[in-house]
C-alpha cells in the first residue's frame, strides 16, 4: 500500500479546508500539505451558499450586537467566549478575502453592501448578489493555487483516521480513480468535511454532505457534540429541497398561508409592517419560522400542492423585476427551472427543509479536538458558536475564521508533536484495508445500500424532525440500532475498483447511520425544548438541567453514550428570545 508522508493532511476542500490550507502555507512554506477532497474543490457545498456572510460593517452596528444576536439566536447554548472571539475576527476575514478577489456587492457610495438576515437585528450580511458561496470558494481556490506546498488530492475519499498512541497520526483514503487505498502518514490532520444534512430525506444539502469527517472522528473516540440540533430552513423548494435563500426575505419577501395571511404575526414574531420593513416577522430566526409552518399545517392553513404536500407561499412580487434581477437572479432562475414559477409574477411555494448541522466534532479551545494532532473547522466542527440554532450567514464566516485558525494552530503545534510512528501507522492501515476489502467483496445478502438509506430517511423524518416526542424518538432509536446491525450485512452490486460509486455510497451510508444514531439518542435524552430541538412532551426550555452541551461517545456495536458539559457563559445570562420589536 502506498504511504504518502506529509506534515498536515486536510480532509475537505470547501470554505474551511481551503482556508486552513492557505493558513498553513502562509505560516510556514516548508510544511508539506496534503489537501484531500472527495470531489473537485469547487464542487464542495460552500459553492451552493447564496445569501451571504456575517460580519459587522455599519457604523450603527457593533461587535456586541453581533454577539447578542448570535447568542440569543442560539437560545443560549453557544459558548460565549468562542462567539466573542468569532465576531471580532469576522469583519477582518471578510475584508481579507476581498483583497484576494472576492467581489462583494456594493452600495452606490462604494461601501460594501450588507443585507438583513434572519435573527440578525441589523444589516450585517455581506453578499455577492446571491452567489456568495460560489465567489468565496472561487476566491479561496484561486488563492490556494499560489502555494506550491499545497498538494491536492482531488477525488480521494477518506475512510478512517489513523489514531494510535493517544494521537492522530494520519488518515486513510481511497483514490477513486484507481480504487486503491492509500495511507497518508501525517503529523497533524485537519477535518473540514462539512455537514450531514443527507441523514434526512428532504434537505438543501448536496449529495456529498454525509458527515464522513464527523463519523471518522467519532469512531476514533472523539465525541460528537450537540447532535440533536438540526436546523430546518423555512424556505426550501418542494420536491428538490433547493434553497430559496434567506436573502429573499432579507430583500423584503413575505410568507403567507392559504388565506394570503402573513401568519408569522401569530407566533410572537411581531406585527406585519409594510415593505421596506424593519421588524422581525419574516426575518425571525429559522427555528421559529420552521416551527410556525408546522403549527399552520396542524391548523389546516397551509396550501396543499398537487405533487408536493403542504406548502406556504413566499411572495416577492412587490419587489419588482429590477431589484430581483440585481440581488436575486440565481434564485429567480432556480424557481423557474425547478418549479416553473417566476417570482416576478407569481408567489413561490416553499416548505421547511433540513439545512444545517449545528452539532459536530467536539472542539476544545476553538479548533482542537481532544485527540492530540487532530483539528477541525467548518460545519463538521461544533465550537460552539451556533448553539441550538445557527443564524444564517454566520457559517460562511465561521469557515473563514476557524479554518484559518485551525491551519495556524496545526502549523504552530507540529514541532511539538514529533514524527509519526511508522509501525503503528502500518498496523492501523492494514486494519483499514481489511475492513474495506470485507465490505467490497462481501457475498450478496439481500441488504442494499439504497434500502437501508431509505429506511434511515423515513425514521429520521418521522421520529426526529421539527417536533419530537419520547415515543417518536424511541422508535427512531430502535430503528437505527436495527439499521446499524443490518449495515454489517450490506453487500455491493459492483465489485470493480475504478470509480466504484457503489462502494463510496456504502461508506457514506455507514457515516450517516452512525451520525443519525447520535442525533436520535442525544435528542431522546434532552427532555426540554431549545432552539431547533423541540419536544412536544417537554415544551419549555430548562436551563436548570440542560444549559449544557451533549456529548455522544462511540461504543462500537452498541448505542452511543450521552454525557454533558457546561456551556460557557461570559456576559449574557439566558433570557427569553424576543423578536418583533424595532431594530
Supply the residues annotated as catalytic: 233, 249
Which residue stretches of 173-285 are H helix? Answer: 212-219, 246-250
Given the complex with ligand FAD, which of 118 and 270 has the nearer CB atom?
118
Using rule CB under 6 A, residue 181 touches ligand FAD: no
Residue 393 binding ligand FAD, by CB under 6 A:
yes
**Using the rule CB under 6 A, which residue among 399, 425, 519, 552 binds ligand FAD?**
399
The 270-289 contact track toward ligand FAD, x by CB under 6 A, reads: --------------------
Total binding residues for ligand FAD by CB under 6 A?
48
Count Cβ atoms below 10 Å from residue 161 Cβ, excluding itself: 28
If the CB atoms of residues 343 and 358 are measured against ligand FAD, the closer one turns out to be 358
Nearer to ligand FAD, 12 or 223 (CB): 12
192 binds ligand FAD, rule: CB under 6 A: yes
Q: What is the radius of gyration, based on Cα positions, of the chain?
A: 23
HSE-CB of 518 using CA atoms within 13 angstroms = 35
37 or 297: CB nearest ligand FAD: 37
**Residue 38 sits in the site that holds ligand FAD (CB under 6 A):** yes
Provide the minimum distance between the beta carbon of 157 and ligand FAD in the complex, in angstroms, as a whole number: 5
Task: State the Cα–Cα distance between residues 405 and 363, nearest whole angstrom.
Answer: 13
d(CA 515, CA 361): 11
**Residue 54: CB minimum distance to ligand FAD, A:** 7
Helix (H) or strand (E) holding 440: helix 422-441
Of the candidate residues 143, 158, 369, 448, the single one contacting ligand FAD (CB under 6 A): 158
Is 396 a binding residue for ligand FAD by CB under 6 A? The answer is yes
Rounded CA separation 113/105 (Å):
6
Q: Give the list of residues 6+ apart from residue 355 with CB closer than 8 angstroms, or none.
A: 197, 203, 204, 205, 231, 232, 233, 236, 243, 286
200 is a contact residue toward ligand FAD (CB under 6 A): no
Alpha-carbon dihedral 18, 400, 230, 69, rounded to 10 degrees: -170
44 near ligand FAD, rule: CB under 6 A: yes
Which region among 14-22, 71-79, 313-321, 471-479 touches ligand FAD (by CB under 6 A)? 14-22
CA separation for the pair 173, 437 (Å, rounded): 13
Q: Can you spell out the DSSP letters for 521-534?
A: HHHHH--S-BTTBE
Asked if 297 is part of the footprint of ligand FAD (rule: CB under 6 A), the reply reads no
- In sign, the C-alpha dihedral spanning 238, 295, 387, 96 is positive
Residue 11 in the binding site for ligand FAD (CB under 6 A): yes
Rule CB under 6 A: is residue 17 a binding residue for ligand FAD? yes
Residues 125 to 144 in contact with ligand FAD, rule: CB under 6 A: 132-133
With CB under 6 A as the contact rule, the residue among 7, 93, 212, 368 that binds ligand FAD is 212
Contacts of 251-254 with C-beta under 8 Å, sequence gap 24+, read: 251/115, 251/316, 251/319, 251/323, 251/324, 251/327, 251/328, 252/276, 252/277, 252/316, 252/318, 252/319, 253/282, 253/314, 253/315, 253/316, 253/319, 254/281, 254/282, 254/314, 254/315
Q: Is residue 57 involved in binding ligand FAD (CB under 6 A)?
A: no
Of 393-401, 436-444, 481-489, 569-577, the segment contacting ligand FAD by CB under 6 A is 393-401
> Residues in the site for ligand FAD, rule: CB under 6 A?
11-17, 36-39, 41, 44-46, 48-53, 132-133, 156-158, 192-195, 204-205, 208-209, 212-213, 243, 245, 356, 378-380, 392-396, 399
Amino acid at each position: 500500500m502506498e504511504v504518502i508522508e506529509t506534515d498536515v493532511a486536510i480532509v475537505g476542500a470547501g470554505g474551511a479546508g481551503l482556508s486552513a490550507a492557505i493558513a498553513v502555507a502562509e505560516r510556514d512554506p516548508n510544511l508539506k500539505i496534503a489537501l484531500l477532497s472527495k470531489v473537485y474543490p469547487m464542487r464542495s457545498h460552500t459553492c451552493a451558499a447564496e445569501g451571504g456572510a456575517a460580519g459587522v460593517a455599519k457604523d450603527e452596528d457593533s461587535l456586541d450586537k453581533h454577539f447578542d444576536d448570535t447568542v440569543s439566536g442560539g437560545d443560549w447554548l453557544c459558548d460565549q467566549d468562542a462567539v466573542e472571539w468569532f465576531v471580532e475576527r469576522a469583519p477582518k476575514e471578510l475584508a481579507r478575502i476581498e483583497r484576494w478577489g472576492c467581489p462583494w456587492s456594493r452600495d452606490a457610495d462604494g461601501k460594501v453592501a450588507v443585507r438583513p438576515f434572519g435573527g440578525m437585528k441589523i444589516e450585517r450580511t455581506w453578499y455577492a448578489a446571491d452567489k456568495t458561496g460560489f465567489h468565496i470558494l472561487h476566491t479561496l481556490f484561486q488563492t490556494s493555487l499560489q502555494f506550491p506546498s499545497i498538494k491536492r488530492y482531488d477525488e480521494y475519499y477518506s475512510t478512517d483516521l489513523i489514531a494510535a498512541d493517544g494521537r492522530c497520526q494520519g488518515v486513510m483514503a481511497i483514490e477513486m480513480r484507481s480504487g486503491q487505498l492509500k495511507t497518508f502518514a501525517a503529523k497533524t490532520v485537519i477535518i473540514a468535511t462539512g455537514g450531514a444534512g443527507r441523514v434526512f430525506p428532504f434537505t438543501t444539502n448536496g449529495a456529498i454532505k454525509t458527515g464522513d469527517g464527523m463519523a471518522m472522528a467519532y469512531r476514533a473516540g472523539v465525541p460528537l457534540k450537540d447532535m440533536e440540533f438540526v436546523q430546518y430552513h423555512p424556505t426550501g423548494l418542494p420536491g428538490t429541497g433547493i434553497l430559496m435563500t434567506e436573502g429573499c426575505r432579507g430583500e423584503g419577501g413575505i410568507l403567507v398561508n392559504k388565506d394570503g395571511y402573513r401568519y408569522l404575526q401569530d407566533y410572537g414574531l411581531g406585527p406585519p409592517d409594510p415593505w421596506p420593513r424593519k421588524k422581525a416577522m419574516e426575518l425571525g430566526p429559522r427555528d421559529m419560522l420552521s416551527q410556525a409552518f408546522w403549527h399552520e399545517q396542524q391548523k389546516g392553513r397551509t396550501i396543499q400542492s398537487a405533487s408536493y404536500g403542504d406548502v406556504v407561499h413566499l411572495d416577492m412580487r412587490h419587489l419588482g423585476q429590477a431589484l430581483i434581477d440585481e440581488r436575486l437572479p440565481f434564485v429567480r432562475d432556480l424557481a423557474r427551472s425547478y418549479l416553473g414559477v417566476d417570482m416576478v409574477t407569481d408567489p413561490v411555494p416553499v416548505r421547511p427543509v433540513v439545512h444545517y448541522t449545528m452539532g459536530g466534532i467536539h472542539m476544545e479551545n476553538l479548533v482542537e479536538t481532544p485527540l492530540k494532532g487532530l483539528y477541525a473547522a467548518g460545519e463538521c466542527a461544533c465550537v460552539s458558536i451556533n448553539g441550538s440554532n445557527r443564524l444564517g450567514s454566520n457559517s460562511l464566516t465561521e469557515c473563514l475564521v476557524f479554518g484559518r485558525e485551525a491551519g495556524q494552530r496545526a502549523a504552530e503545534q507540529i514541532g511539538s508533536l514529533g514524527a509519526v510512528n511508522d509501525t503503528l501507522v502500518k498496523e492501523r492501515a492494514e486494519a483499514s484495508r481489511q475492513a474495506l476489502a470485507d465490505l467490497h467483496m462481501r457475498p450478496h445478502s439481500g441488504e442494499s445500500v439504497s434500502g437501508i438509506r431509505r429506511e434511515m430517511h423515513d425514521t429520521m423524518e418521522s421520529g426526529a424532525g421539527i417536533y419530537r416526542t419520547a415515543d417518536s424518538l424511541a422508535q427512531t432509536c430502535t430503528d437505527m440500532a436495527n439499521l446499524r446491525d443490518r449495515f454489517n450485512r450490506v453487500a455491493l452490486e459492483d465489485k470493480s475498483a475504478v470509480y466504484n460509486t457503489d462502494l463510496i455510497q456504502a461508506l457514506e451510508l455507514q457515516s450517516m447511520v452512525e451520525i443519525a444514531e447520535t442525533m436520535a439518542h442525544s435528542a431522546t435524552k434532552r427532555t426540554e425544548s431549545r432552539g431547533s430541538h423541540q419536544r412536544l412532551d417537554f415544551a419549555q426550555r430548562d436551563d436548570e438541567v440542560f444549559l449544557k452541551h451533549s456529548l455522544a461517545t462511540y461504543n462500537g456495536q452498541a448505542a452511543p453514550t450521552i454525557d454533558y458539559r457546561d456551556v460557557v457563559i461570559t456576559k449574557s445570562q439566558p433570557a427569553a428570545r424576543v423578536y418583533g420589536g424595532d431594530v
